[in-house]
Amino acid sequence: MIKFIIRRIIVSLPLLLGISFMTFLLITVTPGNFFDTLKMDPRVSPDTIAHYEKLYHLDKPLLEQYLVWLKNILKFDLGYSFYYNTPVVDIMKVRLWNTFLLSISSLILTWALAIPLGIIMAVYRNRWIDKILSLGSFLCLSVPSFFFAILFLYAVSVVGGLPLGGMHSVHAQDLSWGQRFVDLLRHLLIPTVVISLGSIAALQRVMRGNLLDALGQQYILAARAKGLPENKVIFKHALRNAINPMITLLGYHFSGLLSGAALVEIICSWPGIGALMLTAVRAKDVYLVMANMMMGGVLLLLGNLLADILLAWADPRIRYEQR
Amino acid sequence: MNKDKKPLNQFQAGYAVFVRNRWAVFCLIVLGLLYTTAIFADFLSPYRYDNEDRSYSFCPPMKVHWKNEQGALSRPYVYATSFSFNEVHRRIYLEDKAQKFFIRLLPKGDSYRLLGVIPWDRHLFGVDSPGRLHLWGADSRGRDLFSRIFWGARISLSIGIIGVAISFVLGLLVGGMAGYYGGRVDNVLMRICEMFMMVPGFYLMLALRAAFPPHLNSFQVYLLIIVIFSFIGWASLARVIRGMSMSLKEREYVLAAKAMGLSDIRIIATHILPHTMSYSIIAIMLSIPGYIMGESALSLLGLGIQDPYASWGNLLSEAMGIVSIQLAPWILLPGFFIFLTVICFNVVGDALRDALDPTLKVEG
Amino acid sequence: MSEVLLDIRGLSIGLQQEDGVRDLLRDVSLNILPQETVSLLGGSGGGKTSLGLAILGLLPSAMKVHNGKILFLGQDLLSLQRSSLRRLRGKEISMIFQEPLSAFNPVFRIGDQIAEVVQEHTDHPRAKIMDRVCTLLDMVEIPEPRRVASAHPHQLSAGLRQRAMIAQAIAASPKVIIADEPTSNLDVTVQARIIELFAKLKKQLSLSLLLITHDLGLVKAMSDRVFILYEGRIVEQGNTQDVLSHAHHDFTKRLITTISL
């Protein structure tokens, strides 16, 4: 198992390298850079600009710049953000945590709702509840997330009760631990719901399909023939088999969240790495953009790795074959 | 059962199944209508997209009256609109019953070129000036939303189609070649694919956009967006096609073609790729919504189509300010159009999948 | 005259298809006495399995009973409440399936699945259930019962699996076991052993067996009486010996010739 993980990571390293180089080229080769705005500012002297350019090796050839950056990465120095005026690592840490928070809460909400709904749809197959949930899930899958975000924000602004953006209330510092937690939850609610909508819809369909497949199996007939009560048949025998293949989805779900959240973060003013990416890109803040891209790739990789590990762990048949 | 029916080929059988699905047919018709309005936007809408009149800023949808003051039926008309300010200095619009403007059929209006070629200036309907007809309201600059939505359809819908087309050509070629040649070619191509697939699409989109100056002329932006989407979409298709190509290349007709000395590209294009058609068609249908939403997202963030041009995405950017929505909820209408288009493509895509091959697992 | 255990009278089952209803069983009557093995012999796909499923009330929704009665110890199973029927399953009448690999749940251990029956239908104290399971496995001549009990279905050989399924079927001491093609997926030597096992268990536990099969050889080896099913109807019945030596119906004659080849 460990060997498997290490091998995967090693294989992905050249890919990450490729991504970083591609990003670097994109940002530096194309017209315009961060200092253009500074250059236009009459208050900033050419000497200052020259000093900064030297500091960040911007006067050296591109390849050298890239290699310098690469060397620093290995020292965990991700470069400096011109826009925020701090080392990239510091901003990324905070923003990464925020996005992580949002992703985890979306993951929890999605699975907590999709599993029961999917079960209901399978057990009451083709009755009116199944049809209504089916229609609902189709609509939720089709609605553009940004549109739903706007609508939801508008609805909340009319009805009230929830904050309309950001992560903390202004006076958060003055609150007790418990109150701060509640405050965080209230801010988390809208972006979480918006992000989760599509995934709940998709996952519940998978749950329904899997459970129906499982219920059609011979061992379910045998279980009924044994005289087991129906709820045991469904929840013990069928469900276990239905959920197994979905465990790997957890990993893919997680990796997809991190990039899918970006647009919603921006609209709901949630300070995560998605929102950061937009700012960095607008400001052509080279190192920040590159770090973000790399982070995106790494997270995707981790998510896929997690999915494969979960797959191997969940199914006893596969586990035994590997022995 | 009818035992004497001739066996149908895959597409004929698929057509029969598809046509039975009433929702799919309905959605297909709706899509047809949407694309028609896009093509004839200049004729169908009363105004050009950039025709503005600030005195009509955030004008609400106008009520079309069918009965005259005596209560009898009359030709449809709207009243002139006047505005005043309420206590909080917001504009409120009132109907000025003193003046009536009849809705005319084929009036003269802003000039344009029908289908890009024929110069004309008649629109399907409109009112004589100084009246203005805002069926769906107006935006902050007094531009007719109805017209802008129709014009916006041009950009939003076309980007979807063209972007998908390029992605798919790329994906088919790369996948077809990788599967067919195998070995090193396959390795290299698939590594590149994985690289593209490893980057979250949204990030790639932003980064690519950022690579170019923020202020390009709109046509360049349009092309750029198409190019960006092509970059994002081709990789996952390429992988699947590669798998199919690998198994197809062992088939007899491929070996026969090789023996006849046909060039590789010819073999790939004429013998292998056509068999991936079912999958490709379904995947195309289910991907278009993603492209449309992607363009909308970019424009929404101000990185896509800019003012004064209209795309459904940048029309929605006005709705980003909550205050605007409270003032003018009709601003949200473009979003519903995006929603409608996506639903239709999804329904048709699902129906196609059921018709052509229900066993295929196609991701949108 | 001992009391009839299972008495099926005039059973008709139909299958709902796209273009109408197809009759699977027409007016089938069959009975089983205590401690006897009765066979239902017919061609594949002839609707034999539906009889077994109908007894336990487990027909798929596409199949429906049109007519007839299924009396178990005098009670009509077809008019029984769902909950009462469920209590019957596994306890009074149990079923063995053709393919034990698919009849066991792949993610649970064999021992746990057999334990389920013990738990559901008997009053065995929790702590002693696994002991009971091992006893059952022992009864079906499985070596190393503890090891087998903690194995997953795919880890066992086909023969062991089938024995385990038999163990599961006898776990609550039923009166009748319905065996649907119990040996068709096993090779001949294993088959013979299973046949011996059935004979032993029948005597030991006073069981009756309803053997549903297309294999005349199996019928010859195991059953006391046989009912021949052809195109949904019972065309011949009686003591196995009598039927085989004095066959009336064409179908029966054809079957006999095929095994003597």
Q: What is the pLDDT of residue A322?
A: 42
Structure tokens at C98: 């053709």
Q: What is the mean pLDDT of residues A151-159?
A: 85
What percent of chain A has a predicted confidence (pLDDT) above 90? Answer: 23
Q: What is the pLDDT of residue B15?
A: 78
Confidence band, pLDDT 50/70/90 cuts, at residue A32 = low
Facing A144 at nearest CB: one of B198, B214, B339 = B339
In tens, the pLDDT along A42-90 reads 666 677 667 666 666 666 677 777 777 777 777 777 777 777 778 888 8
Strands annotated E in C127-221: 176-180, 208-213
Q: Taking a C-beta distance cutoff of 8 angstroms, is the pair A107, A257 a contact? A: yes
Q: Which residues of B195-216 are buried (b: 16+ CB within 10 A; e: fewer)?
A: bbbbbbbbbbbbbbbbbbeeee
- Can you tell me the distance from the alpha carbon of A30 to that of A206, in angstroms, rounded to the nearest whole number? 44
Q: What is the pLDDT of residue A245?
A: 80
Length of chain B: 364
Identify the DSSP state of C92. Answer: T
Q: What is the pLDDT of residue C166?
A: 93
> Which positions in chain A touch C116 (Cβ < 8 Å)?
223, 226, 228, 232
Partners of chain A (3+ Cβ pairs below 8 A): B, C
Facing B200 at nearest CB: one of A146, A150, A300 = A300
Q: Taking a C-beta distance cutoff of 8 angstroms, is the pair A212, A220 a contact? A: no
In B, minimum Cα distance to A23 occurs at B207
Task: Please report, as a single letter, which amino acid is at residue B110.
Answer: D
CA A180 to chain centre: 24
In tens, the pLDDT along A126-135 reads 889 999 999 9
**Prior bond to B130 cis, omega within 30?**
yes
Query: In whole angstroms, how far apart are CA A140 and each of A105, A136, A137, B179?
Result: 19, 6, 5, 36
Q: What is the pLDDT of residue B1?
A: 43
> What residues have CB less than 8 Å from C261, skipping those under 6 apart?
none
Place of tokens 């995947």: B283
What sign does the CA torsion over C229, C234, C238, C242 have? negative
Alpha-helix runs per DSSP H in chain A: 2-29, 35-40, 46-55, 62-74, 88-123, 128-142, 145-159, 177-215, 218-225, 230-232, 239-243, 247-267, 273-283, 286-314, 316-322
B335 and A296: CB-CB below 8 Å? no
Q: Is A221 in CB contact (< 8 Å) with chain C? A: yes
**Domains of chain A with CATH codes:** 16-77 (no CATH), 91-322 (1.10.3720.10)
CA B115 to chain centre: 18
**Of the given ranges (A8-22, A256-270, C18-32, C88-102), which has the lowest mean pLDDT?**
A8-22
Q: Taking a C-beta distance cutoff of 8 angstroms, is the pair A309, B206 a contact? A: no
Element (H, E) at B277: helix B277-300
> Which positions in chain A touch B289 (Cβ < 8 Å)?
142
Helix, strand, or coil (residue C107): coil
Q: What is the pLDDT of residue B307?
A: 79
C86 and A229: CB-CB below 8 Å? yes
* Per-chain mean pLDDT for chain C: 88
Q: Is B189 in CB contact (< 8 Å) with chain A? A: no
A218 and C87: CB-CB below 8 Å? no
Q: Which parts of chain B sit beneath pLDDT 50?
A: 1-5, 363-364
In A, minimum Cα distance to B322 occurs at A154
Q: Is A281 in CB contact (< 8 Å) with chain B? A: yes
Q: What is the pLDDT of residue C189?
A: 87
The DSSP code sequence of A149-164 is HHHHHHHHHHH--S--
C105 and A237: CB-CB below 8 Å? yes
Identify the DSSP state of C33. Answer: -
Q: What is the pLDDT of residue A323?
A: 37
> Which positions in chain C touch A225 (Cβ < 8 Å)?
56, 58, 89-90, 94-95
- Can you tell me the distance from the alpha carbon of B174 to that of A246, in angstroms, rounded to the nearest whole number? 31
What sign does the CA torsion over B196, B200, B204, B207 have? negative
Q: What is the pLDDT of residue B240?
A: 82
Q: Taking a C-beta distance cutoff of 8 angstroms, is the pair B28, B53 a contact? A: no
Residues linked to residue C31 through DSSP beta bridges, in sequence order: C7
Q: What is the pLDDT of residue A320?
A: 46
Q: What is the mean pLDDT of residues C5-31?
A: 89
Higher-scoring residue by pLDDT: B98, C29: C29
| Chain A nearest CA to C244, separation (Å) | 33
Q: Taking a C-beta distance cutoff of 8 angstroms, is the pair B85, B92 a contact? A: yes
CA gyration radius for chain C? Answer: 18
Q: What is the pLDDT of residue C153?
A: 92
Which of A241-245, B14-18, C38-42 is predicted most confidently?
A: C38-42
C120 and A218: CB-CB below 8 Å? no
> Which positions in chain B touch A18 (Cβ < 8 Å)?
191-192, 195
- Can you tell me the distance from the alpha carbon of B281 to that of B289, in angstroms, rounded to the nearest whole number? 14
Q: What is the pLDDT of residue C37?
A: 93
A289 and B319: CB-CB below 8 Å? no
> What residues have CB less than 8 Å from A53, skipping those under 6 apart?
A35, A59
CB pairs under 8 A between A and C: 73
Task: Please report, as a single letter, which amino acid is at residue B60.
Answer: P
Higher-scoring residue by pLDDT: B20, A312: B20
Task: Please report, as a single letter, which amino acid is at residue A111.
Answer: W
List residues of chain C with CB under 8 Å from any CB of chain A.
53, 56, 58, 86-91, 94-95, 97, 99, 102-108, 116-117, 120-121, 152, 154-155, 168, 172
Q: Which of residues 135-194 of A touch B (CB under 8 A)?
A: 138-139, 141-144, 146-147, 150-151, 153-154, 157-158, 164
Q: Is B213 in CB contact (< 8 Å) with chain A? A: yes
Q: What is the pLDDT of residue A119?
A: 93
Q: What is the pLDDT of residue A38?
A: 60
**Domains of chain B with CATH codes:** 53-142 (no CATH), 147-355 (1.10.3720.10)
pLDDT at A321 over 50: no
Q: What is the pLDDT of residue A29?
A: 65
A241 and C107: CB-CB below 8 Å? yes
> Which positions in chain C touch A229 (Cβ < 8 Å)?
86, 120
Structure tokens at A48: 């200052």
A228 and C120: CB-CB below 8 Å? yes
Helices B201-210 and A273-283 sit at what angle, rounded to 10 degrees?
Answer: 10
Q: What is the pLDDT of residue B256?
A: 82
Single out the residue of B144, B112, B97, B134 nearest to residue B43, CA to CA: B112
Single out the residue of A273, A274, A277, A268 nearest to residue A167, CA to CA: A268
Q: Is B321 in CB contact (< 8 Å) with chain A? A: no
| Chain A nearest CA to B81, separation (Å) | 27
> What residues have CB less than 8 Å from B120, skipping those under 6 apart?
B43, B111, B112, B113, B114
Q: Taking a C-beta distance cutoff of 8 angstroms, is the pair A300, A259 a contact? A: yes
